[in-house]
Amino acid sequence: MEEFSSETVHYGIASQVNFIWQQIRSPFIVPVLKLLLVLCLVMQIMLFLERVYMGVVIAFVKLFGYKPEKRYKWEPIRDDLELGNSAYPMVLVQIPMYNEKEVYKLSIGAACGLSWPSDRIIIQVLDDSTDPIIKNMVAAECQRWASKGINIKYEIREKRNGYKAGALKEGMKRSYVKSCDYVVIFDADFQPEPNFLWRAIPFLVHNPEVALVQARWKFVNADECIMTRMQEMSLDYHFQVEQEVGSSTYAFFGFNGTAGVWRISAINEAGGWKERTTVEDMDLAVRASLKGWKFVYLGDLHVKNELPSTFKAFRYQQHRWSCGPANLFRKMVMEIIRNKRVTMWKKFYVIYSFFFVRKIIGHVGTFIFYCIVFPTTILVPEVEVPMWGVFYIPCIITLLNSVGTPRSLHLLVFWILFENVMSMHRTKATLIGLLETGRVNEWVVTEKLGDVLKTKSGGKTPKKPRIRIGERFNFLELGVGAYLLFCGWYDLTFGRNHFFLYLFVQSIAFFVVGFGYVGTFVPNS
């Protein structure tokens, strides 16, 4: 009798749910889903055209050897017997850091090893560390290099206002900076080659209209785990295609916050460092560009650095990189439109291509289409997704994205699945930035491991430490994975398009990340 009652209750609930679903399906769900599908397809076309445009430009650049040395005057800085070392511009090297225990020696050592007349360069370490032990270690390292004759300054401040932007701004106020012509910025895990200044500075010396020379990042730990390989694929496209296109067409490309040389007068004219967003580097670049300054990207000048190899660190980094640009777009779009010093083409490029398509549509469109709208159409067969929108265009976009890292072509499927998972976090961060709510100004310094894995485990990946359940499980990923799994099961049972093949595989990717099986596990210290 009890079993009969239980089955009756369950059947009654299922019937009620089905009745409600049928009532709202035609008048509400179907039209809303159709509208969302149209919007997603439009965004797909926008991304497709953007990728094709950049592909054409890159093909032209590579085919005709359109290098920066051909577009701008470049010749090595030569010794002058009369002027001596004063013929060389004065260069300030800034290294902002925050509790960088694992990498501070690498960055300071690389900066102090730069080849340049010793009386024409100043190394400025901007230490915002809150750990007194690490502070003492960094101060001691600076003292060690100072004892070797290096002009190195160790700077601290009482309050960490404005995070990195605040540190850079404070560093520029020092009296000795007034004698400097250019400033080079290296994050704490960046290790420039000794000839970095010899390659970059001449572009600024011989071209007074150039404000910034940006170098490319080279990742020392790209092969550490599958997550770092995925990051390499995304960032290689950014550096080899997006940055190159903006530079070669004289349109715009953003400063990456490190591995770049600025003309100090350009920084001052643009209004200096501002703390209003978490992408102070992009903010400065946009403002300088609106003043008419030009930027040069050197794709063959590499600076070694480290990719975040733990998922937690990567997730925080992606939040900042997605939320910051969206928030900056909100703050600056009208300023860009009203600007009268740059051409309409440049304003269109910055607003539409750089911000809207790459920083907003690229994140939001991917998640909404592949993780919400497309799976939901399985439950609502009245809404059909055209094959060109779900297969052909995405395949072309993916192939165009892969040109930056040909060695990882065999990982394309994994890259697609991982990017779709990360699009959830990027979409959330983008909306926070656009709406200026919640964690809009959250800044968590990306964790660097340096040589910790080698020194603690002899080069082998360490075993997973014991951590709390809340830290191990990522419930958003698990929730989306469960929804995709349900849609896949529904398509397998009632569908006819075999879309369940994608849905099952994508749900597995969400579960893998959701259960914490991605990235490197770091041993407890």
Q: Which residues are catalytic?
A: 128, 281
DSSP bridge pairs for 302: 216
Cβ-based neighbours of 75, under 8 Å, separated by 6 or more: 202, 206
Q: Which two tokens stand for residue 370?
A: 């592949």
> How large is the angle between the packed helices 311-338 and 412-435, nearest 10 degrees?
50
Handedness of CA 430, 433, 436, 437 (dihedral sign): positive
Mode of pairing for the β-strands spanning 210-219 and 260-263? antiparallel
Nearest to 369 by CA among 28, 17, 48, 51: 48
Question: What are the angstrom distances between the C-alpha of 213 and each of 170, 238, 262?
Answer: 22, 16, 7
How would you label 249-277 residue by residue, b for 16+ Cβ within 10 Å and e otherwise?
A: bebbbbbbbbbbbbbbebbeebeebbbeb
| Residue 120: Cβ within 10 Å count | 18
Q: 3-state SS of the chain: helix, strand, coil percent to 5? A: 60, 10, 30
Alpha carbons 404 and 418: distance in angstroms, whole number? 17
- CB within 8 Å of 239: residues ≥ 6 apart: 216, 217, 299, 404
Contact 41, 368 (CB under 8 A): no
Compute the distance between CA of residue 418 and CA of residue 447 in angstroms, rounded to an integer: 20
Residue carrying structure tokens 């359940």? 469
Please state the length of the chain.
Answer: 525
**Cα 318 to Cα 103: distance, rounded to the nearest angstrom:** 21
CB 40 within 8 A of CB 393: no
| Stretch (H or E) spanning 474 | none
Q: Which amino acid is at 501?
A: L
**Could you give the C-alpha distances from 352 to 85, 213, 248, 251, in angstroms and in order?**
46, 24, 18, 12
Q: Quickly list DSSP for 295-328.
A: EEEEEEEEEEE----BHHHHHHHHHHHHHHHHHH
Per DSSP, helices labelled H in 147-258 are: 163-171, 196-206, 226-237, 244-248
Q: CA-to-CA distance for 157 and 171, rounded, in angstroms?
A: 9
In the chain, the amino acid numbered 348 is F
What's the order of all strands across the beta sheet hosting 260-263? 152-155, 121-127, 91-97, 182-185, 260-263, 210-219, 294-305
